[in-house]
Amino acid sequence: MAKVLIERTVAEGLEPNYEQTIVELLGHAEKSPGYLGGESYRDAMRPNHYVVISRWESANAWHLWFGSSERYEMLKKVGVFLKEPEKCTILEPCIYQSQQGL
């Protein structure tokens, strides 16, 4: 399994527009082969900073979604609300994982 951390900083005042549009993007991601789920967060100290952690069967499944025409078209819609380009990080487990977290 692969996890992907996506960070987006939305231009101030455009958060409601971003949130409405991101629901549509999520709908497309959910149909993508290998998508297992995800969680979305909003920074408590910077409410225009959003973090998404998505789970994929493999890094390859993520790359297929990342390069898909569906994601490209949705990112054009989302991109108009962003203050800066999104940052994506593919995460892999470390050998010292704890069942209890940190």
Phi, psi of 88 (to 5 degrees): -115, 135
Instruction: Decide if 43 is inside a domain.
Output: yes
State residue 99's pLDDT score. 66
Instruction: Decide if 78 is inside a domain.
Output: yes
State residue 95's pLDDT score. 75
Query: Six-digit token pair at 18?
Result: 């971003």
Instruction: Decide if 21 is inside a domain.
Output: yes
Checking if the pLDDT of 102 tops 60, the result is: no
State residue 101's pLDDT score. 60
State residue 94's pLDDT score. 80
Number of structural domains, the chain?
1
- Domain extent for 65: 2-91
CATH number (domain holding residue 17): 3.30.70.100
Instruction: Decide if 99 is inside a domain.
Output: no
What pTM was computed for the model? 0.86
Q: Among 7-11, 78-82, 90-94, 98-102, whose mean pLDDT is lowest? A: 98-102
Phi, psi of 6 (to 5 degrees): -120, 125
Instruction: Decide if 53 is inside a domain.
Output: yes
Instruction: Decide if 102 is inside a domain.
Output: no
Angle between helical axes of 69-79 and 15-30 (0-180°, round to 10) = 170
The string of pLDDT tens digits covering residues 12-65 is 999 999 999 998 888 888 999 999 999 999 999 999 999 999 999 999 999 999
Between the alpha carbon of residue 94 and those of residues 59, 84, 86, the distances in Å are 15, 30, 25
State residue 24's pLDDT score. 86
- What type of residue is 70? E
Phi, psi of 24 (to 5 degrees): -65, -40
The answer to whether residues 61 and 32 touch, using CB atoms and an 8 Å cutoff, is yes
Strand partners, 5: 53, 89
* Owner of token pair 């101030």: 12
Instruction: Decide if 96 is inside a domain.
Output: no
Instruction: Decide if 69 is inside a domain.
Output: yes
